[in-house]
Every structure is written in structure tokens, then in C-alpha cells.
């Protein structure tokens, strides 16, 4: 892995299997030269040409790394500025490059307005991923306002049509894939809600004739948890471009004299097949993005009280659950909503982060000590960015929420969003959480966020349209500060389920809540969508009493699905029969023996249940010494019961021993990848976990 500086201002980002090649043409303009399989570096060249005619301009046609608004360029741009005299054109030229082993910075300057910007690149030894961002600097006396400040631009190599993939999810149905052929014009994916949200995802996947194992796949994921926008466009020259970054909807960023700003990063790659894409992004997240305290630690099995007790929490009831949880093998007990303020349902208490003395007359330590004595760590739920109008905090500080004096504040779930761009609000939130962590032996914070923004007025800001960015930054900053002071505390990002499960959140939080939908069958689809570009290790998955929205799926089946991430339990354990407890114990013990492979291994999606009715996912240790294969069937139809069970990702020439459907096998990796075992799958909710050990 290195950056190669070639003749004529051409720079090759030389990664494991691919090249990303950029350069500067003779006019000082940035150019995107190539992205894909490696070629001889001496062959790369920049071609220049003139306007075709008055309607087909060269500036409109060329492939760039950071298109700026202006001149005779009419396509979507990455940067659009508004200078002090109302000029809105950027007219820049190359002023030099900084080249290091793994980093490249290309610098440009608009001399007249004292505006400097850089395109930043970073590459990694262990994957084919390029990190891209833009830095803008104001070297003038005047403010520079940006109407658009995206993070990255990509032009895909082929002139043929690509299929663009994103998600069309919802609360309770996160990450449902949406694939659309891009023939002409633009496809846009975005969030305007103040969080990345449940619907579209802050990434793109563009592919041609691709499946899990083959075909050209290009992708890029934005590390940002607020409003984002992804625009994929195919132009009149048949070029497919993708640009992405902070959404320019209700957006503005003012850079004052002497200031600089770097956009959120995008992580992009080119692989053969979707499987390799996911494995590369998983490796990237574990090795380089997830917070360092826990990135290399196995995540504990947790119990969460929400679905069992709702708001009705107290020391006695929680300890009753905790005793059973400990007996089953749970390692971390998390008390969810309801422990603070006057929180008896969702219409009061948010903002009052003080222990509810009616529910916990002796404070929280009675419960925490009890949980610790049972051998488990203790975790707790908070929703720090919110306030209920029915709270002491709101009665004291009604001005602390986003609002317009002339408009009614829209409540959702009876709550309002705190203006986290105010220093005093951030200090209040930090202090409450700092005290909570200082006074109690808490090892885990579940940080929730249950409503999108509205009435986004912020009188404290000279440029209120910066608030989405600033709010998001405040959340990251508070988490970082708390982590610095309390390094033993792990953080979970939750937003009504998976509303904030993006790479930005996962650069500050250690894990995320995937979905409030814990139905085994639905989870097969939700987790599949999650696994495309997000790290498996960070995906919290609980076994709950939602046995199945249509038909009950067995407890074993629910474990099979939840064990394919960071396992948790969320059912009402008081209602568990002896048999349920035995099944849970057995599965938790099994999970502990395989979780290293699941959390740190490579995922091979052998068969996708949406297409095939039977899900087969194989998790393989990096050194190929062990694999864990999960098989789960949502129910076979049309009398098709015999399938060929294949395992992918094993070492081809090595032999593995495993037991499948009560029969012992010794087979090579090549055999299992190509020939497989014909198996009879017994209808709905059949499930099995196969452990393959290399011999
Ligand atoms: C939404 C979360 O997704 C749930 O897990 C739970 O924590 C509730 N909020 C509590 O209000």
C-alpha cells in the first residue's frame, strides 16, 4: 500500500488489489483518471480536449475529484460558495500536493477570494478502501458561505448503465434494499430529519452484473449521522457520477476569516462481488473506525429490560430479571427507559436525568450492586438530546429547544429536541451523564434518540442553517468527552431502533441498536441490509418474545438469527418456562464459544433468504481455522425442500470436520464451496448452527 507520484502530476493510490488514480491537468484542474483493477502505473495519462460545441463543454464532461460550481460546468457540484460580493463562482487552480505513504492532499486556491480547498485521501494496508474528504480554508478578511459542502465525488469507469443500490427502510423495517437502474438523470437518497434515519442510507453501491462473488461493485459510505445526500447521475456523455456528503437542504456553512473546516469522510472501494465489499468494510470498521477502547474486545451478551418491563422499573423487579439473566449466562444487564424524573410513560421526565425516588428510594446502587453480585456488569438507558415539556428541565428552560417564537412546537412522542448547538445545553447534558457515571458503577450507556427535528430555529447561531452539522458534532463530542473521562464505559447508538446506525456514529459509539423489530423472520432481511456496509460486531441483536409477526418462530430460531451479531436478550424472563431457560442457556453458552468468529470473522452470505427462502451465512475466522455456518429457513414453498448446502470462505485445500443434521463430515473447503451437501430442510423455522474446525 502506498501513494505513487508519477510524472505529470499523476498520483496512484496503490491499494491491495485496486488503483485509484487522480491527477492535475495542464490547466491546474483536478481530474479523476481511473478506479479499478491495477494497471501499469507508467501507462496512466491525462487526456485534454476542447469544447465539442457551444452546448457540449469540456468542463461539463471531464471527470473530476471535486467539481466546483462555476464557468461552463452544469452538472452537480461538490462545492458551491457565496463570496462577500455575491459572486458564487469558484475559480481555482492547483497549488501543490502533499504526499505521504498512506495520505495524499491536493491543494487548490481561488486567489481572488483567498479561498483554499484540499481534497484529502488516505489508504489502508489491510483493505481496498480509500478515505476521502474535503478541507476548506478561508484566508481572506471576509466570511465565505457555502451552499453546498459535500465530501466526495466519484466517476465510475464504465460508460454502461449501473444499478444503484440504497435502502428504502422504515422504523421497524430498516435497510430494506432498493435497486434501480440508472439510465439518465439523477437518483437521490437523503435524510432531512436531523439523523441519518431509518429510510435511505448515507452510502451508495453501484454495480454491473454483480452477485455475492463476482461482478464490478463500487461503493462509498459517509461517516456522518445527520442530514445527508447521495446523488447518482448519468450524464449526456454516459458518465455515471456519484457525489455525497452533508445534505444541502436547509443548509449553510459560514467559514469566518482564518477558519478551516473538514467535511465528514467517505470510505469507498471497488470489489468483485458484494461479499468482498462487506468483508472489506467490516475489516475497515474494526481496524480503523470503531472507537479504540472496545474495537478489539468481544462484546458481552446483554439483557435489556425494555420489552419486559417498559417504563415500570424498580430495583426489586429488575433484580428478579437479573437473577434469571445471570443464571442463563448473560454478562451485562441493561436497564432501559423509566428510571429517572417523573417517567411513568412517554409523556414526562426526559431531561430530568435524576433517579426517580419513588421507584428507587435507595438510589440506583442497590440495583447495580445486586447486578454486580450476580457477576454481571450494569448498563443504563438515556435519551440526552430530548426533553418532555412535562419536565423540570423544560419548566426551567423552555428556550433550550429548537423553536421559532412565532410557530407551535411540534411534539412527537410528547417530546422536543434540545438545541445542542448551545454551550449551556451541552454542558448540562455532559454534567448529568458525567455525574451518573461518576456516582455509579455503570459500564454501558444506551444513548437513544426517538424523534426527528422540527421548527429548527436556533437564535444563538448567526447562521442557524449550520445547526444540523453542529448538533451532530455536539453529540459526538459529548460521547468522546465522556469516554475520555470514563474509558471503561461502552456506548450504544440507538434512535428508535436503527435510526443512527451509520459509520459516523460507529466512529464514536461502540455498537448500535439495529431495529425495534426483533421478529426472527423480519430480522433476516434487516440484518442482511445492515451487513452490506456496516460492521457485524457492532450490530446488537436481541432474542425477544416477539415470536413472529405472522406465525410463532421457535426460540432456537430466534437465537440462530440474533447470534449473527452481538447477542442480547430482551424478553420477559419471568415468563420463561424451564424449557425456554434450558434452550437459552444452551444457546448463550454456544454463542460464547463462537462469538469471536462471528464478531471478528469474515461473513460469506451463501444464500439470501429473500431470494431463496433459506438463509445460509458463513462466518469464517481470518486465519480460516474455523467457520460457523448459520442455516435458517423461513419456510419452504412449492414442495421444494431439498437444497444444496454450501459453505463459502473456507481454505480450499484444507479439510474441515463438522456435524450437520446429526452426521459427521470431513470435507475440503473446495468441496464445500463447490459441491456441498444435499439436505432436506424441514419446513418453516428449521435452523441449525454448524461449527467447522480445520484439521
Ligand atoms: C426506542 C428504542 O429503540 C427501544 O429499544 C427502547 O429503548 C425505547 N426507545 C425506550 O423508550
The C-alpha angle with vertex 681 and arms to 676 and 683, in degrees rounded to 5, equals 160
Whole-angstrom Cα distance, residue 480 to residue 508? 7
Q: How far apart are CA 112 and CA 40, in angstroms?
A: 39
Residues 172-192 pLDDT 10s: 999 999 999 999 999 999 999
pTM for this prediction = 0.97
Helix (H, G, I), strand (E, B) or coil at 161: coil
Rounded to the nearest angstrom, the distance between the alpha carbon of 1 and the centre of ligand 1 is 43
Helices 315-328 and 578-600: angle between axes, nearest 10 degrees = 70
Atom of ligand 1 nearest to the CA of 497: 3
- Ligand 1 center–CA 541 separation, angstroms: 14
What is the number of alpha carbons within 13 Å of residue 359 lying toward its C-beta?
22
The cell numbers describing 568, all together, are: 442480547
Q: Which pLDDT value is given to residue 641? A: 72
Distance CA 559, CA 691 (A): 16
In this structure, the residues whose C-beta lies within 6 A of any atom of ligand 1 are 306, 336-337, 381, 448, 450, 494, 496-497, 513, 516
Determine phi and psi for 387, rounding to 5 degrees: -145, 140
- Whole-number pLDDT of residue 608: 76
Give the per-residue pLDDT at 642: 79
DSSP one-letter code for 475: H
Whether 85 is a known active-site residue: answer: no
Pocket test for ligand 1, best of 381, 514, 569 (most atoms within 8 A of CB): 381
Q: For position 501, what pLDDT does the model report? A: 97
Question: What's the pLDDT at 374?
Answer: 98
Residue of minimum CA distance from atom 6 in ligand 1: 306
Residue 675's contacts (CB-CB under 8 Å, 6 or more residues apart) are: none
From the candidates 60, 377, 502, 516, give the one annotated as an active-site residue. Answer: 516
Neighbouring residues of 7: CB distance < 8 A, sequence distance ≥ 6? none
Q: How far is the CA of 448 from the centre of ligand 1 (A)?
A: 7
| pLDDT tens digits, 437-491 | 999 999 999 999 999 999 999 999 999 999 999 999 999 999 999 999 999 999 9
556 is an active site residue: no
Positions of the chain with pLDDT lower than 50, given as ranges:
none
What distances in angstroms separate CA 691 from CA 279, 556, 660, one per listed residue?
A: 20, 16, 9
Residue whose CB lies within 8 A of the most ligand 1 atoms, among 496, 515, 571, for a mutation test:
496
Give me ligand 1 centre to Cα 196, in Å.
17
**Which string of DSSP letters, residue by residue, matches 516-561?**
S---HHHHHHHHHHHHTTS-GGGEEEEE-S---SSSPPPHHHHHHH
pLDDT of 587: 98
User: Alpha-carbon distance 283 to 472, whole Å?
Assistant: 25
CA 608 to mean position of chain CA atoms: 21
pLDDT for position 91: 96
Please give the number of the atom of ligand 1 that sits closest to the Cα of 494. 3
Q: Could you tell me which of 490, 468, 495, 494 has the C-alpha nearest to residue 479?
A: 490
pLDDT tens digits along 342-391: 999 999 999 999 999 999 999 999 999 999 999 999 999 999 999 999 99
Q: Residue 376: its pLDDT value, please?
A: 98
Amino acid at each position: 500500500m502506498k501513494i505513487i507520484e508519477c510524472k505529470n502530476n499523476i498520483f496512484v493510490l496503490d491499494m491491495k488489489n485496486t488503483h485509484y488514480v487522480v491527477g492535475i491537468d495542464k490547466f491546474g484542474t483536478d481530474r479523476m483518471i481511473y478506479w479499478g483493477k491495477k494497471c501499469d502505473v507508467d501507462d496512466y495519462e491525462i487526456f485534454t480536449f476542447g469544447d465539442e460545441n457551444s452546448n457540449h463543454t469540456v468542463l461539463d464532461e471531464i471527470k473530476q475529484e471535486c467539481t466546483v460550481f462555476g464557468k461552463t460546468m452544469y452538472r452537480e457540484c461538490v462545492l458551491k460558495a457565496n463570496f462577500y460580493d455575491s459572486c458564487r463562482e469558484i475559480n481555482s487552480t492547483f497549488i501543490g500536493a502533499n504526499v505521504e505513504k498512506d495520505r495524499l492532499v491536493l491543494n487548490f486556491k481561488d486567489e481572488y477570494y483567498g479561498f483554499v480547498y484540499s481534497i484529502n485521501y488516505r489508504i489502508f494496508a489491510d483493505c481496498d478502501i480509500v478515505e476521502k474528504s474535503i478541507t476548506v480554508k478561508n484566508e481572506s478578511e471576509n466570511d465565505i458561505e457555502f451552499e453546498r459542502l459535500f465530501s466526495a465525488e466519484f466517476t465510475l469507469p464504465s460508460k454502461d448503465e449501473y444499478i444503484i443500490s440504497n435502502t428504502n427502510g422504515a422504523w421497524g423495517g430498516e435497510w430494506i434494499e432498493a435497486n434501480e437502474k440508472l439510465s439518465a438523470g439523477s437518483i437521490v437518497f437523503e435524510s432531512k430529519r436531523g439523523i441519518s434515519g431509518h429510510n435511505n442510507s448515507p452510502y451508495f453501491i453501484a454495480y454491473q452484473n454483480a452477485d455475492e462473488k463476482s461482478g464490478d461493485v463500487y461503493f462509498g459510505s459517509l461517516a456522518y449521522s445527520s442530514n445527508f445526500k447521495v446523488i447518482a447521475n448519468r450524464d449526456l456523455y454516459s458518465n455515471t457520477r456519484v457525489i455525497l456528503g452533508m445534505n444541502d437542504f436547509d443548509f449553510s456553512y459560514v467559514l469566518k476569516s482564518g477558519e478551516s473546516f473538514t467535511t465528514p469522510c467517505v470510505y469507498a472501494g471497488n470489489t468483485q462481488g458484494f461479499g468482498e465489499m462487506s468483508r472489506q468494510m467490516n475489516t475497515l470498521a474494526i481496524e480503523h473506525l470503531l472507537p479504540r477502547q472496545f474495537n478489539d474486545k468481544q462484546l458481552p451478551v446483554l439483557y435489556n429490560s425494555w420489552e419486559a418491563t417498559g417504563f415500570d422499573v424498580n430495583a426489586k423487579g429488575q433484580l428478579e430479571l437479573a437473577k434469571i439473566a445471570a443464571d442463563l449466562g448473560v454478562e451485562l444487564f441493561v436497564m432501559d427507559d423509566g428510571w429517572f424524573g417523573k417517567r411513568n410513560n412517554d409523556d414526562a421526565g426526559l431531561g430530568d436525568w435524576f433517579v426517580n425516588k419513588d421507584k428507587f428510594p435507595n438510589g440506583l446502587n442497590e440495583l447495580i450492586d445486586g447486578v454486580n453480585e450476580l457477576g454481571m456488569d450494569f448498563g443504563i438507558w438515556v435519551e440526552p438530546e430530548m426533553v418532555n415539556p412535562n419536565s423540570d428541565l423544560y419548566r426551567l428552560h423552555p428556550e433550550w429547544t429548537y423553536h421559532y417564537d412565532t410557530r407551535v412546537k411540534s411534539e412527537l412522542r410528547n417530546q422536543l429536541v434540545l438545541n445542542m448547538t448551545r454551550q449551556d445545553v451541552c454542558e448540562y447534558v455532559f454534567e448529568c451523564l458525567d455525574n451518573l457515571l461518576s456516582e455509579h458503577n455503570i459500564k454501558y450507556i444506551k444513548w437513544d434518540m426517538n424523534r426527528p427535528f422540527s421548527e429548527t430555529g436556533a437564535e444563538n447561531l448567526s447562521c442557524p442553517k449550520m445547526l444540523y452539522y453542529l448538533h451532530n458534532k455536539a453529540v459526538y463530542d459529548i460521547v468522546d468527552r465522556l469516554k475520555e473521562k470514563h474509558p471503561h464505559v461502552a456506548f450504544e447508538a440507538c434512535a428508535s431502533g436503527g435510526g443512527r446506525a451509520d459509520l459516523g456514529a460507529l466512529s464514536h459509539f461502540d455498537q448500535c441498536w439495529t431495529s425495534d423489530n426483533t421478529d426472527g423472520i423480519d430480522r433476516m432481511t434487516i440484518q442482511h441490509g445492515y451487513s452490506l456496509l456496516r460492521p457485524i460486531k457492532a450490530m446488537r441483536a436481541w432474542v425477544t418474545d416477539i415470536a413472529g409477526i405472522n406465525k410463532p418462530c421457535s426460540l432456537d430460531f430466534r437465537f440462530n438469527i440474533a447470534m449473527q451479531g452481538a447477542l442480547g436478550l430482551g424478553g420477559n424472563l419471568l415468563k420463561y418456562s424451564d424449557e425456554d431457560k434450558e434452550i437459552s442457556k444452551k444457546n448463550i453458552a454456544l454463542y460464547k464459544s463462537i462469538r469471536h468468529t462471528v464478531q471478528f470473522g469474515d461473513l460469506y452470505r451463501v444464500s439470501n433468504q429473500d431470494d431463496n427462502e433459506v438463509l445460509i451465512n458463513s462466518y469464517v475466522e481470518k486465519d480460516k481455522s474455523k467457520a460457523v455456518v448459520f442455516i435458517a429457513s423461513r419456510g419452504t414453498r412449492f414442495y421444494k425442500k431439498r437444497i444444496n448446502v454450501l459453505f463459502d470462505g473456507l481454505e480450499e485445500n484444507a479439510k474441515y470436520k463438522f456435524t450437520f443434521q446429526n452426521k459427521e463430515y470431513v470435507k475440503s473447503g473446495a468441496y464445500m464451496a463447490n459441491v456441498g451437501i444435499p439436505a432436506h430442510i424441514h419446513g418453516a423455522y428449521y435452523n441449525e448452527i454448524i461449527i467447522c474446525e480445520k484439521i
